[in-house]
């Protein structure tokens, strides 16, 4: 395999940068107690007695389970408006796409509990405890 000069210098620079970063990280991670770990404690006293953490690698999306988007359903199949994209390229996977249609969830949602929280049909038994669970819906991002 022939390596040109640009590739050689690029790889060499990457190797040097990696070595420099590793040495910086080693200097910052040294601790005074000799264990090699210096993790600060939390800024408040923990009060939770139990936490259920769901990590669903390959599982259904939170959008298909807990995030009812009726506005998206009204725009299903229509082109994504430029007011949403604002000229941004969406992802590396979509850079060759010429169209960007809106796609809503293929699942149905209905309100559950006294709170009326809309939940998906995929987890029907969650609806029986809809008033007892906490669903965080206040996380936002500027990225598409």
In a domain, 57, yes or no: no
In a domain, 123, yes or no: yes
Which residues span the domain enclosing 77?
Answer: 62-129
**Number of domains present in the structure of the chain:** 1
In a domain, 45, yes or no: no
Q: At residue 29, does pLDDT exceed 60? A: no
pLDDT tens-digit readout, 90-133: 677 777 777 888 888 888 899 999 999 999 988 889 889 999 98
In a domain, 52, yes or no: no
In a domain, 100, yes or no: yes
In a domain, 134, yes or no: no
Burial (CB < 10 A; 0-12, 13-18, 19+), residue 65, is buried
Burial (CB < 10 A; 0-12, 13-18, 19+), residue 102, is middle
- Residue scoring higher pLDDT (21 or 113): 113
In a domain, 30, yes or no: no
């Amino acid at each position: 395999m022939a390596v040109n000069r640009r590739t050689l210098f690029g790889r060499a620079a990457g190797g040097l940068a990696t070595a420099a970063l590793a040495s910086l990280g080693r200097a910052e991670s040294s601790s005074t107690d000799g264990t090699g770990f210096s993790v600060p404690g939390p800024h408040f006293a923990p009060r939770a007695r139990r936490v259920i953490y769901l990590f669903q690698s390959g599982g259904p999306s939170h959008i298909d389970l807990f995030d009812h988007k009726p506005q998206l359903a009204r725009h299903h199949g229509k082109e994504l408006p430029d007011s949403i994209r604002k000229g941004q390229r969406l992802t590396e996977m979509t850079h060759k796409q010429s169209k960007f249609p809106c796609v809503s969830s293929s699942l149905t949602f209905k309100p559950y509990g006294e709170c009326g929280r809309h939940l998906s049909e995929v987890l029907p038994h969650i609806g029986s405890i809809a008033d007892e669970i906490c669903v965080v819906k206040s996380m936002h991002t500027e990225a598409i």
